[in-house]
A and B are shown apart, each in its own frame.
Chain A
Amino acid sequence: MLGLNKKDTSLLIIVALLTLLAPFILNPFPEGSAMAQFNAGYPDLMQRFVIFGIFAIGFNILFGLTGYLSFGHAAFLGVGSYSAVWMFKLLSYNVIPAIALSVVVAGVFSLLIGFVSLRRSGIYFSILTLAFAQMSFALAYSVLSNPKFNLTNGETGLQVYADDPQILQGANAPDLPHLFGLPMRATYTMDVGAWSFDFNAGYYLCAVIMMVVFYLAIRIFRSPFGMMLRAVKSNQQRMNYTGLNSKPYTLAAFVISGMYAGLAGGLMAAMDPLAGAERMQWTASGEVVLMTILGGTGTLIGPVLGAGFIKYFENIFSKINDNVLHSWFAFLPDGLEDAVVFLIHPFIGKGWHLTLGILFMLVVIYLPGGLVEGGQRLLNRLKRKKTDADDAPSGKTEPAE
């Protein structure tokens, strides 16, 4: 289907079903129950899942295929957000031109940065991208925000004001980002018994776009171009002596991944019409690296899983506070309860990065292929169990491995 082989088609269908049914899947616990805090089916978080999924899918096209590790991709995300907000300010709150411009501008920007950074490889390439991103951050945070020329609105962040031109904004159009009149904030809540499910317009826009770009990523992975990118990672020497110029291949991958990042940035602004310099910080660049590695570098679905995993746990762990902990461990004797809460305290709330760090270390050490490898091992084990069970009557089973 759609020019994909059977396996890729089923992967695409699974991803489509999961994203479309996410409002159900992510809200398995009844409203008001003790477990409700583990629900993730509210619009804001679901939007972040898919937006960061897009960011990571794009990053993986560069890092997963060519092996070039960029530490500056948040710059393209930020550029995308600024472009989108400028479209809101100048044209109208319609998200289509905003998203389109964010992709184009991020593409041009990544062409420039990529052209210079790709003169080096390995750690020097990573450092160059990091330097460029930090320069972009400095530009956005202060340099490009002065009374004479205010492109980014500095610390406050870029936003839409009442006196902005908005030359195409219709009189009846919603006064916030919308898709041809459908506000991105529009949410339909479905109550089923004790459960409650939110269907948000913005989320579904992001989800459809993610499915499209996920499909494009599969096409790239399966294309001759994708194979050349893996050749770059594997052996540039052989590549050069085979008549291939590895530079334009790598640059093309860099620009494509920059455009994915720009798209993610544009969608962020479309969900919430605001763009701040902190989006370009090096921590944001590091986050997408973590997502990709955690999920499974170079795999199709890994980056999406990694993005979902990190955003989910960030949300859950940072919400848990000492009161919640006390209620959980209330069954313990007082002294012990305080001790347990004291021990766990550093890993929750603001300390959730500590938890993320530990999880990341565990994955890198025990599952170098990321969550995807974990899933595969689990599947294999189940399969082996099944065949073992089938073989059992015919005699002794071989010990595993």
Chain B
Amino acid sequence: MAILRVKDVSKRFGGLKALTDVNLNVEENSVHAIIGPNGAGKSTLLNCLVGKLMPDTGSVLFDNNSVLGLEPFQINQMGISRVFQTPEIFGELTVMENMLIPIFAMRDGAFRMHAYETIANEKAIVEQAEVMLEEMNMADKREMHAASLSRGDKRRLEIGMCLSQNPRLLLLDEPTAGMARADTNNTIDLLKQIKEERNITIAIIEHDMHVVFSLAERITVLAQGTPLVEDIPENIRGNPKVREAYLGEAA
């Protein structure tokens, strides 16, 4: 069953058609990659899924509920977590606090006036955060300020923060963009591990198709705002249309 259904979504920026009639289904418990050359509209599509942009036409259903017109925090509370192109974390807070916040958000909802309680007394939540830090191999960095982490660790932390909420859908926007080769491989390995260990649906946006070949079960190729083909990785690799789309970029 498809957990995310994108139907006839179009989006214009002035005269520019960023998305034209995008149709896309993401199956539950699958890894679905959306690839395409720069400017294809990948980030725009993602922003339509998480409440940052409102598409001009079409519908986006998550678990048969429309997400259009909802605020990002409401969409997150429905079970969608997002990893950004450049890691978005709480830089001035410690690694531990970064991990606590999403867990509090999951338990207490979008707002709760818990001003008199003490964090240290929230044993269950602290423990959950510790387990997650262990899982991300970051337990030794728990008292560090998140801003002082390396690029790769920031990415790990952000992914860990999203996972700590047990989301039903994890969205990643070019999670390896601008990373060194080693960090890229680490991130891919981490995502593979997540896929094996959890019941989770992952939708990943990527510019570099080689990054996702070993990870994705289905790949949609986006070019100039419309899906070109959707297939399993093996068939995407040799597809002449896909080559053309990427070649056009290289020219």
Contact = CB atoms under 8 A, between A and B. Distances in A.
B124 interface: no
Nearest to B88: A238
Contact of B89 (A238, A240, A243, A248): A238
Contacts of B106: 243
A224 B119 contact: yes
Contact of B91 (A220, A225, A226, A235): A235
A240 B101 CA distance: 11
Interface stretch (B33-41, B76-84, B133-141): B76-84
B244 interface: no
A234 B110 contact: no
A107 to B, nearest CB: 14
Contacts of A227: 93, 97, 100-101, 104, 119
B3 interface: no
A234 B93 contact: yes
Contacts of B111: 244-245, 248-249
A230 B104 contact: no
Interface residues of B, number: 39
A219 B119 contact: no
Interface of A is mostly: helix
Size class of the A contact interface (CB-based, 8 Å) = 20 to 34
B43 to A, nearest CB: 14
B249 interface: no
A222 B105 contact: no
Among A220, A228, A252, the one with the most B-chain Cβ atoms within 10 Å of its Cβ is A228
A223 B82 contact: no
B118 A222 contact: yes
A244 B101 contact: yes
B92 interface: yes
Interface in B160-207: 161, 165
A234 B89 CA distance: 8
B154 to A, nearest CB: 11
Nearest to A5: B120
B88 A241 contact: yes
A223 B115 contact: yes
A222 B119 contact: yes
A233 interface: yes
B117 A243 contact: no
A222 B118 CA distance: 6
Nearest to A226: B115
Contact of B90 (A3, A5, A235, A252): A235
A237 interface: yes
Contacts of B73: 239-245
A243 B88 contact: no
A231 interface: yes
Contacts of A228: 101, 104
A216 B117 CA distance: 11
Interface of A: 3, 5, 216, 219-220, 222-228, 230-231, 233-235, 237-245, 248-249, 252, 256
Given A239-B90, A244-B105, A252-B115, 10 more contacts: A5-B120, A216-B116, A225-B117, A230-B93, A231-B90, A238-B90, A239-B73, A242-B76, A243-B109, A243-B110
Interface of B: 50, 71-73, 76-77, 81-82, 84, 88-93, 97, 100-102, 104-106, 108-122, 161, 165
11 contacts: A220-B116, A222-B118, A225-B112, A225-B113, A225-B114, A227-B119, A233-B92, A234-B93, A238-B90, A241-B76, A248-B110
Q: Which 9 A-B pairs have the closest CB atoms?
A: A243-B76, A225-B115, A245-B110, A234-B90, A243-B105, A238-B88, A248-B111, A240-B72, A234-B92
